[in-house]
């Protein structure tokens, strides 16, 4: 192996990390997921969606469903953009 090949496979000892603010990862922004009331979706379907998609217990999903029904909208949770 030539010296050039040997150097290309090793890291140089004077390597430094760039911790400038541009390279430090920020926490992802969070988004509120809101369900809106309509005249077509049955209440039990909304409850099942809250339980299966948002993994909420039955009691909490029933509370949110009733909030959606009575107030016109309900907060399902706060998630990152990819999840929301």
As for how many domains the chain has, the answer is 1
Please give the residue that has the higher pLDDT: either 3 or 71: 71
Q: What is the domain extent for residue 44?
A: 28-84
Looking at the predicted structure, is the pLDDT value of residue 50 above 60? yes
Residue-wise pLDDT for 10-31, tens only, equals: 666 676 766 666 667 888 899 9
- pLDDT tier at 84 (50, 70, 90 boundaries)? confident
CATH of the domain at 76: 3.30.1390.10
Q: Report pLDDT for 10.
A: 61
Could you tell me if residue 50 is inside a domain? yes
Q: Report pLDDT for 9.
A: 60
Q: DSSP secondary-structure letter at 3?
A: H
């Amino acid at each position: 192996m030539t010296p050039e090949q040997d150097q290309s496979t090793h890291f140089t000892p004077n390597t430094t990390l760039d911790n400038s603010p541009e390279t430090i990862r920020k926490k992802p922004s969070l988004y509120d997921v809101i369900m809106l009331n309509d005249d077509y979706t049955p209440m039990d379907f909304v409850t099942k969606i809250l339980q299966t998609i948002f993994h909420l217990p039955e009691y909490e999903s029933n509370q949110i469903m009733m909030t959606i029904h009575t107030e016109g909208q309900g907060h399902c949770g706060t998630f990152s953009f990819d999840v929301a």
